[in-house]
Structure 1
Amino acid sequence: MSSAPQPTRPAEFWEARYRDSDRVWSGRPNDLLVREVSGLTPGTALDLGCGEGGDAVWLAARGWRVTGVDISATALDRAAGHAAEAGVADRTAWERHELGETFPEGSFDLVSAHYLQSPVALDRPAVLRRAAGAVAPGGTLLLVLHAGWPSWQTRPPFDAEFPALDGILAELALPEGEWTVTTRETVRRPSLSPEGVEGHREDHVWRLVRNPAAG
């Protein structure tokens, strides 16, 4: 018997990904979020592609008022549950969006997007430009993307386009003089394969601050 075809529409793909597992992610915040945001004064935050809420719950526990956005209703339900367990439900809100099609309203002191990379359709340049547009004057845009496959990944499971450091800044097409780039680097971190093979993976990190007089 042949297996059923995998869904190719983004919403179907990600809903199946979460529905087929009790937990997809660790529940811990991304290390680079912690590194880049710990020194900021809490305000309003937008977490794009929030998944099961690890980053959003961490931010809320430190005084941020967070809107978490994901394409999967299952992921958002889990995120809301984790926020309630952590005692931060009153500082979190959850919205379902298929980024590239719809986007949350408002402006935010922090807009964070980690690993907006997908095996199914995603107009990343358009999403990142809207993310930049959602940053309030004086606010911060934090972007983290994989720079390539892990060192142990000898057979990539799908074709993927990995960004260059300068490439993302070009995609953003930010108005000249309106932003200051405070972090722009490649970080290598340990990576363990599902079979226990040790290796590493590189991530690109961009942190940009919008001029307080912008807008």
Structure 2
Amino acid sequence: MTDDTNTASPQEYWDGRYGESDRMWSGDANAVLVREVTGTQPGRALDLGCGEGADAIWLARRGWRVTAVDISRIALERASRHAADAEVASRIDWVEADLGTGFPSGSFELVSAHFLHSEVELPREQILRAAASAVAPGGVLLVVGHAGWPSWEHHPDHSVEFPTPDEVLQSLELAEGEWEVLLSGEHERTQTGPDGRDGVRTDNVLKLRRLAG
């Protein structure tokens, strides 16, 4: 499967990336998700770009009913196996979909979008607006993204844009008076780079609650 970003479709690109190794990610849930959701009353959750399923499995273990979406069939197959191993398969619905052309129906108490970045076409703002629309009254939208290139990237592509939390908030085009900003900011974390050494990444987070009308 080609990984040429100039010719591959988004699905081909991500299947190619996942097909390069037996595991792409650590298998641990994203730290911001753990921090912001721990102690929350479980309900229905939508995990956008679920990858190999770590976030969805973490939520399911804590009583959430999860709809987990990814464009890569290979990633979803792995995620399904991991969920079975964790004995939470019955609490997760795995959905193969290109979020740029189709979005899951329903409303959710939690909609989580972590690191929706791609080297191939990805209408991120459109997807996040759909994500906001899927939040049930009283529910939470959690958007986490990279704020810039990692410390080990010495030749970054300066054409790539990393929106700030305020820019993400503005792009959502939310109705006035219907949302509460719970958290908006940046944070640094340590991540192991491709050379095996620890480096620094700066990420941003936007957490919103949809007010009950």
For normalisation by structure 1, the TM-score amounts to 0.94
Compute the RMSD of aligned alpha carbons: 1.4
Shift of 1:159: 4.4
Which residue of 1 is the match for residue 185 of structure 2?
A: 185
Q: Which residue of 1 aligns with 2:110?
A: 110
1:17-40 CA distance string (max 9 Å, x none): 112211111111000100111121
Mean CA deviation greater in 119-128 or 158-167: 158-167
Work out whether 1:77 is the aligned partner of 2:74.
Answer: no
User: Could you tell me how far apart the structure 1 residues matched to 2:185 and 2:166 are?
Assistant: 10
Q: Does 1:126 align with 2:130?
A: no
Contact kept? 1:179, 1:208, Cα under 8 Å: yes
The whole-number CA distance in structure 1 between the counterparts of 2:48 and 2:3 is 28
Question: Does residue 149 in structure 1 map to residue 149 in structure 2?
Answer: yes
Q: Is the 8 A contact 2:3 2:16 kept in 1?
A: no
Q: Could you tell me which residue of structure 2 aligns to residue 95 of structure 1?
A: 95
State the one-letter code of the partner of 2:24.
V
Question: Contact between 2:3 and 2:12, CA under 8 Å: does it hold in 1?
Answer: no
List per-residue Cα deviations over 1:146-192 (Å, max 9, x = no partner): 00011121012684210112110110010000000001010111123
Unaligned runs of 5+ in 1: none
What residue is the counterpart of 2:206 in the other structure? 206
Aligned partner of residue 103 in structure 2, secondary structure: coil
Percent identity of equivalent pairs: 55
Any conservation in 1 of the 2:191–2:198 contact (CA below 8 Å)?
yes
Deviations 1:98-123 (A, max 9, x none): 01101111011100000001000000
Contact 1:119–1:160 (CA<8 Å) still a contact in 2?
no
1:25–1:198 Cα change, 3 Å: closer
Bigger shift: residues 5-14 or 90-99: 5-14
2-structure distance, mates of 1:144, 1:201: 13
**60-69 or 153-162: bigger deviation:** 153-162
Matching of residues 52-71 of structure 1 within 5 Å: 52-71=52-71
Counterparts of 1:72 and 1:5, CA distance in 2: 13
Query: TM-score if structure 2 supplies the norm length?
Result: 0.95
